[in-house]
Amino acid sequence: MNFGFLKVAAAVPKVKIADPNYNCEQIAQGIAAASRAGVSVVAFPELAVTGYSCGDLFGQPFLIAQAERALSTLLQRTAQEPVVSVVGLPVAVDGALYNMAVVLGQGKIFGAVPKSYLPNYNEFYEARWFAPSDRLRRTEITLCGESVPCGTDLLFDHPSCTMALEICEDLWVPVPPSCGHAMAGADLLINLSASNEMVGKHDYLRGLIAQQSARTLSAYLYVSAGFGESSTDVVFAGNGMIAENGLFLQETPRFTMEEQMAVADVDLERMQTLRRRTNTFEAGAAHATTAYRRIALALREDAEAFAVQRTFNPRPFIPQDPTLRRARCEEIFQIQVAGLAQRLLHTQAGSAVVGISGGLDSTLALLVTVQTFDRIGVPRSQILGVTMPGFGTTTRTHTNAVKLMETLGVEVREIPIHEACAVHFRDIGLDPQDRSVTYENAQARERTQLLMDLANQRGGLVIGTGDLSELALGWATYNGDHMSMYGVNGGIPKTLVRYLVEWVADQPAYAQARPYLLDIVETPISPELLPADAQGDIAQKTEDLVGPYALHDFFLYHFVRFGERPAKLYWMACRAFEGTYEAATVRRWLGVFLRRFFTQQFKRSALPDGPKVGSITLSPRGDWRMPSDATVALWLKEVESLEEETK
């Protein structure tokens, strides 16, 4: 099973200007190489058969005829290759010359697409030789002895993908043809180009490609002319780029003197899922005016025999580039601050109350609250930080909690809950030695009651500390730490909370708190609801009970964002965490994630308000609406089948 992946390639061959035979030989070698790599679709640059920079030689009928003849030879030469290829060449039709992209494979031409927009400014003067697509009156042309569908209204259809083409300048216009192609159903967009190099142009081009693939929710394959093109006035560096929904998967190096090929597995199943979820995409399609012709496309039948080479970030919520990660942390922190500031000002709350445990989540909530009070001009002394030691509180977390509050300049209150919980245990007839969920949840609810009542006393708001990962797993006490008056962390997964706290620790304004912040980052994650061990250390470690947050956050991102099925989640996670978690471990915690995600929806249905900070949120008022009694049976059945397959 390839899970909707399609292996595609952008090939930059060597060219000789006005030598179709040589160029088609190079293209044939590129097709053969793509075939050996398991590629299903490979694209070559604009006018690759003749070379883009032929100039007035395009006015020579001899060159045009030789280009078609060389294409015929290419068809025969590659007839046994299972690859679909897209090749550019000049084609004469009814007294005009067109810059065309031709789709061919297995000895057949599937169709030809003419260039729509001809640049005739600065260094470009294509209108000197070529006619634009709207001049073409035919829907079929004769090419290499075949009657071939021709036009900008062609979609090349296969059960695994719908492919459409545009050529170079088509991408640079205000409304590229690929917008219409995508709205008509194309999920693989291919651009044959011959864009020359200038300082800064490459970055601009990458931006165009990224934005177009994101705007059209598609895979976008771009390939541009390289070494061998004329350098009379311009230089062609050779670009092969493959993007998917705004992210680049593969790129070839520029300015090389050798042929290059970028190969990537694009996830077209994911693109289709995103399109179904994005109702405005379908609304745009409803206004499309072009009536497209669909051409049946024959792709290789052995595609699943070639391994998918796609890699996956094991921490999808966290940018891998350190500079981008720091910028992302700052942006998220500012979103949290802005949300809390609006809520405080709107409710005219004079203070805020935060329960501080010495753990990651409450630390981040306190940091956000402090920054918010600084922003709105209210003294930090109006923030009440409350530490509530219980049966499982350790010296390490208690010390960090108190020192953090002191260094941040908030009011510190310590209210032990041992006695109150003991009374409550007697009231409900619970043996204090009973370490059941009642024992744990009673402590969480006692703490929440204290915070709520203190907020009422002070005319303030209780700031929630629970994070997105806990909401996904239901790892919160209903009407305990599950509840607050504004939850600033509700859109942030646990793996990201750690980076946010580290980012704040690096800020000069928090230098005094830095030692405590860094120690909190290193402290094992725990609710500290069960007594410590004999050495006074944390005995109840969350990840021992519900599984590694790294895995759960990975599952959460791909399950909610892209609707990935259990088998695909398992396959992706095994790749992402190879060398870290064994397959059996991934499978076990995937089952736990799915079971808890479904059964704990009732907690998410009663969430307090909180800011959305990323593409994933579980607010019942926003992105995730799910019945609390939905069954997980179908998903768990597939997880069980994975276990059988791997025995």
Q: What residues are labeled active site?
A: 46, 115, 168
Which residue matches tokens 């177009």? 212
| Positive/negative CA dihedral, 376, 377, 380, 381 | negative
Sign (positive or negative) of CA dihedral 131, 133, 134, 135: positive
What's the count of helices (H) and strands (E) in the chain, helices before strands?
20, 20
DSSP for 465-530, please give it: ---HHHHHHT-S-TTTTT--SEETTTT--HHHHHHHHHHHHTSGGGTTTHHHHHHHHHSPP----S
Contacts of 22 (CB under 8 A, 6+ apart): 15, 16
Q: Is 215 exposed, middle or buried (0-12, 13-18, 19+ CB in 10 A)?
A: middle
Q: In angstroms, rounded to a whole number, what is the distance separating the alpha carbons of residues 578 and 574? A: 6
Q: Which residues does 358 contact at the CB level (< 8 Å), separation at least 6?
A: 387, 396, 397, 398, 399, 400, 401, 404, 520, 523
Alpha carbons 483 and 606: distance in angstroms, whole number: 8
Q: Output phi, psi for 234, to 5 deg.
A: -135, 170
Residue 382, CB-side half-sphere exposure with 13 Å CA sphere: 18
- As to burial, measured by CB atoms within 10 angstroms (0-12 exposed, 13-18 middle, 19+ buried), residue 497 is buried
- Rounded to whole angstroms, the Cα distance separating 320 from 314 reads 10
Backbone Cα Rg of the chain: 30
Q: Which of 358, 310, 642, 363 is nearest to 526 (CA)?
A: 358
DSSP-based three-state secondary structure for 37: coil
Q: What residue type is assigned to position 298 of the chain?
A: A
Listed residue (641, 463, 502) closest to 565, CA to CA: 641
Chain CA centroid to CA 526, Å? 30
- Cα 17 to Cα 580: distance, rounded to the nearest angstrom: 52
Q: How far is CA 399 from CA 173, 419, 420, 527, 531, in A?
A: 61, 21, 22, 16, 17
Give the residue among 603, 602, 597, 596 at the shortest CA–CA distance from 628: 602
Residue whose tokens read 């069980």: 640
Q: Which residue has the tokens 């697509």?
A: 133
Whether 608 contacts 487, CB under 8 Å: yes
